Structure 1
Amino acid sequence: MFIAQAFAQTAPAATPAGGPESSLLSMLPLLLMFVVLYFVMIRPQMKKQKEHKAMVDALAKGDEVVTAGGLLGRVSKLGEAFLHVELADGVEVQIQRSAVVQVLPKGTLK
């Protein structure tokens, strides 16, 4: 008897179109997630890329640098896309400009 009463109840009928407000509200969480993703991940990454490009463009002969491979050296020659880094006396390697990770303060290398 109790179960028969539970089946007798029906859910209220939904509106056929749902209205424009309903579709806007359903997209709100998606838009909110995109905004949060932009400010948490995309924007800081773009800022970091911009700073790295400015550092690479400002390289000059004699700068002490760290490469992506972990090598420390002094810039001896500059080219358009490549630069020569002197690792020790008489040891010079050619690397891409983008492989420079950090410019060290003058006098770091002895």
Structure 2
Amino acid sequence: MIGVILMYVVIFGAFFYFVMYRPQKKEQKKMNAMLSSLEIGDSILTSSGFYGIVIDITDDTVIVEFGNNKNCRIPMQKSAIAQVEKANADE
């Protein structure tokens, strides 16, 4: 009886690992790779839906320029970046 219960615990543990934990880890690795390849001049999409151009990069923050007027520069955390489009992607 205890063997059957232990078998169910192992099966459910493996199920939760492959369905929940592993895909989340893969997504986090992909996000870290994207943020580590971030360069000045890249076009980004923030998690709040704003498009901008990276002007400066520090350890955990970036300064992003939004819109056509060059006066709208806002510092934000790197974790707020949802997508990156490289500046030289069309070459």
TM-score (norm 1): 0.73
Matches within 5 A, 1:65-104: 65-88=44-67, 89-104=70-85
Q: Which runs of 4+ in 1 moved over 4 A?
A: none
Q: Distance in 1 between matches of 2:15 and 2:55?
A: 44
Matches within 5 A, 1:26-65: 26-65=5-44
Q: Does 1:25 align with 2:24?
A: no
Count of aligned pairs between the two proteins? 87
Question: How far is the alpha carbon of 1:69 from its aligned partner?
Answer: 1.2
CA deviation vs aligned residue, 1:51-101 (integer Å, no higher than 9, x gap): 101111110000000011111000000111110000022211100011111
Q: Which amino acid aligns with 2:73?
A: E
- Structure 2 residue matching 1:93: 3-state secondary structure: strand
Structure 1 stretches lacking a partner, 5+ long: 1-21
Percent of aligned pairs sharing the same letter: 30
Structure 2 stretches lacking a partner, 5+ long: none
Question: How far is the alpha carbon of 1:106 from its aligned partner?
Answer: 4.0
TM-score (norm 2): 0.87
In angstroms, what is the RMSD of aligned CA positions?
1.6
Q: Distance in 2 between matches of 1:49 and 1:37?
A: 17
